[in-house]
Amino acid sequence: MEKRGRPKIVNLLIRAFVIVFAIAVGVDVIPDSWVSHSVIRTHVRRGLGYLGLAQGEWSLFAPNPGMRTGFIVGEVRDGAGNIAVWKSPDWSQQGIATKFLKFRYLNYYQRTVLNREASNDLADYLQRSIPTREKVEPGIRLTDDLTIVPSDPIVPPIKQVILHHHHPLINLAYEEPIPKPTELVTTETDRYLVKRDYPK
Amino acid sequence: MIRFGKWRDAFDRFLFEGCDPRIIPVMRIGFAIIILIQSLVAWPDAERWFTDSGILSAETVKKISSPGSWSLLYLFPQNVLTVKICLGLLMGHALLMLLGIASRFQAAAIFVWLVSFQNRNPLITDGEDIVFRIMAFLFIWLPLDCGWSLWKRKPTAQTLHTPGQADAWGLRLIQIEMIAIYASTALCKTQGASWWNGTAVWFVSRLSDDYGRAVPKSFFDLPWTSEIATWGTLLIEFLLPIALWIRPIRNYAILAGLALHLGIELSMNLFLFQWIMMLGLLSFIDFERFPFKRSAVRDAPQVRDSATLP
């Protein structure tokens, strides 16, 4: 019998495919806090990963909006001991068009600070790319206020790269009410990421 | 057996009688444009993002990725020429999809390239990229060239077939995916104190990286503005997974979803996320209950009931 213009077996396969898809997606997107150690979900996610269809939970500013702000600061030294400072873009100072066109940069720097392997790769990239592809400001960074004291220009090859993540921290718990703008306290924090030496 | 038969018939009606294929060409064109834009934005930085001379080596990616993460880019030399050829192919497939030329094949190819590029550098991707690739996969199952297609103008027996509701069952997959996203994020937000006390949007407005378009962050300094925006978001995300299935209120639910995404687009820089989500919402459109039904029906490709197909 042909139903809706298709052979019966095709309709059967379509039904099965839709059901399997719906179940797999449903299992994959259930929040981790609801089923943190599900063996079934581990297998479903692995299977979806092989197919290129894994997605995971959709946290989207949940459970609370994470404060992913700030920029990365790199201190680079050449063989003569000259120091220069590299900075990733400070997105709070960028315009709408730049934020759109450089959106991948924004994602990259936000995620790199959370991953040591990726931070190592960034340091290696800077070692290869300064000063041809990545611009630096010759001088020593004063950690407290980010003021840069000028020094002699660095000369490649770069011998050492140290990365920090500099970001403002809002001193407010998620359970607290919104403070008045004049009462809002933020702290500038500087977190060490990696140090890479390049002897040769 | 009788009860099973009833369930099966109801499921068949859900799959083969409930979707309107007239929206499919609109979605195809919108999706192709989005893929072209994201590819063009990636083009100048292809070497930086996707080669070993860039910021993330293939070796590191394999260490930090989940098992089973594959990419065609691993098969080729890790240089800028190879990556730009691959990116060019992705854009070519998107352009052909835009024109409606063998779009199901283009969707399959776009899916493979999106997975390849996203797995080669997962650090530059976010939620929208997940929607891109899943949408590409789901587009494979749709009669994408059923309207506004150069392909369809060729008078072959195959292309003369006019899809009906029975051929648009793939829209159900997109609808399921959209529902899954809204339900998942709504449930995730129930775990956060800021979503319950109405301060979440105030915190979001302090994300100097992502926030900052037409709505100034000072707008949310008044607690009631943050509360309305926070609870409004939560309400819409909770209601959409239910309301989008209820036909009398479906179009209103779509409007609420569009308002949510346009509101976020006006205030935040999240690249193309809002646009791909709005495109996904279009899969629910019910032309029969559309407020501007006459003009919409006149302009859209004609639907033909599958029962009358040859």
Cross-chain residue pair A62–B41, CB shorter than 8 Å: no
For the segment A119-135, the average pLDDT, to the nearest whole number, is 96
Q: Which residues of A touch B229 (CB under 8 A)?
A: none
Q: What is the pLDDT of residue B164?
A: 84
Share the mean pLDDT of chain A. Answer: 91
Q: In 3-state terms, what secondary structure has residue A124?
A: helix
Inspect the interface and report whether the beta carbons of B180 and A26 lie closer than 8 Å. Answer: yes
| pLDDT confidence of residue B154 | 56
Using the CB atoms, write b or e for A170-192: b if 16+ within 10 Å: eebebeeebbeeeeeeeeeeeee
Element (H, E) at B278: helix B273-281
Give contacts of B112 with chain A, Cβ < 8 Å. 52
Q: What angle do CA B176, A63, A52 make, to 5 degrees?
A: 40
Question: How does residue A181 score in pLDDT terms, banded at 50, 70 and 90?
Answer: very high
As a whole number, mean pLDDT of residues A77-87 equals 91
pLDDT at res. B239: 98
CA B267 distance to own-chain centroid: 20
C-alpha to C-alpha distance for A4 and B305, rounded to whole angstroms = 9
With an 8 Å Cβ cutoff, are A25 and B123 in contact? no
* Smallest Cα distance from B51 to chain A, Å: 11
- Interhelix angle for B170-189 vs A8-29, to 10°? 10
Buried b (16+ CB within 10 A) or exposed e, B130-146: bbbbbbbbbbbbbbbbb
* CA–CA separation, B224 and B167 (whole Å): 48
Domain ranges across chain A: 2-51, 71-197
pLDDT at B297: 46
Are the C-beta atoms of residues B184 and B134 closer than 8 Å to each other? no
Residues of B in contact with A112 (CB under 8 A): 55, 123
Chain-wide mean pLDDT for chain B? 91
Residue B303 carries which DSSP code? P
Phi, psi of A173 (to 5 degrees): -80, 155
The full length of chain B comes to 310
H or E element in which residue A76 lies: strand A71-78
Cβ–Cβ pairs < 8 A, chains A and B: 205
Cβ-defined contact of A53 to B134 (cutoff 8 Å): yes
> Which residues, at least 6 apart from B170, have a Cβ–Cβ distance to it below 8 Å?
B138, B139, B140, B141, B142
Q: What is the pLDDT of residue B306?
A: 38
Contact B188 A31 (CB under 8 A): yes
Residue B182 in contact with residue B241, Cβ under 8 Å?
Answer: yes
**The pLDDT of residue B206:** 94
pLDDT of amino acid B157: 55
Q: What is the pLDDT of residue A138?
A: 83
CB contact under 8 A, B185 and A106: no
Q: What is the pLDDT of residues A1-30, one digit of tens each?
A: 345 578 999 999 999 999 999 999 999 999
Question: Which residue does chain A place closest to B11, by CA atoms?
Answer: A15
Question: Structure tokens of A195?
Answer: 């140090």
The number of beta carbons lying within 10 Å of the beta carbon of residue A5 is: 17
pLDDT of residue B308: 32
Task: Look at A64 and B206 and tell me if their CB atoms are within 8 Å.
Answer: no
CA distance B220 to chain A (A): 9
pLDDT at A144 over 70: no
Contacts with B130 from chain A: Cβ below 8 Å: 55
Amino acid present at B15: L
Q: Contact A165/A190 with Cβ under 8 angstroms? A: yes
Rounded to the nearest 10°, the torsion over CA B284, B115, B187, B64 is -170
Residue whose pair of structure tokens reads 């063989």 in the numeric block: A79
Inter-chain CB proximity B60 and A117 less than 8 Å? yes
Question: For the segment B263-301, what is each residue's pLDDT rounded down to a tens digit?
Answer: 999 999 999 999 999 999 999 998 888 766 554 444 544
**Separation of alpha carbons B68 and A67, rounded Å:** 31
Q: pLDDT digits over A22-68, tens only?
A: 999 999 999 998 887 789 999 999 999 999 999 999 999 999 998 77
Model confidence at B149: pLDDT above 50: yes
Mean pLDDT of B199-222: 94
Range B25-40 average pLDDT: 98
Measure CB to CB from residue A110 to each of B173, B190, B209 and give the nearest one.
Answer: B209
pTM for this one? 0.93
Chain A CA closest to residue B129: A55
Q: Which of A1-5, A85-89, A152-156, B177-181 has the highest mean pLDDT?
A: B177-181
Q: How confident is the model at residue A130 (pLDDT cuts 50, 70, 90)?
A: very high
Hey, are the CB atoms on B133 and A176 less than 8 Å from each other? Answer: no
Higher model confidence: residue A68 or residue A110?
A110
Q: What is the per-residue pLDDT for B151?
A: 78
pLDDT at B161 exceeding the cut of 80: no
Query: Using one digit for the tens of pLDDT, what is the confidence trace for B61-103?
Result: 999 998 889 999 999 998 999 999 999 999 999 999 999 999 9
Between CA A89 and CA B206 the distance in angstroms is 17
Which member of A59, A68, A103 has the closest CB to residue B207? A68
Distance CA B158, CA B156 (A): 5
- Say how far apart CA A95 and CA A98 lie, in whole Å: 5
Show me where the domains of chain B are located: 19-149, 170-300
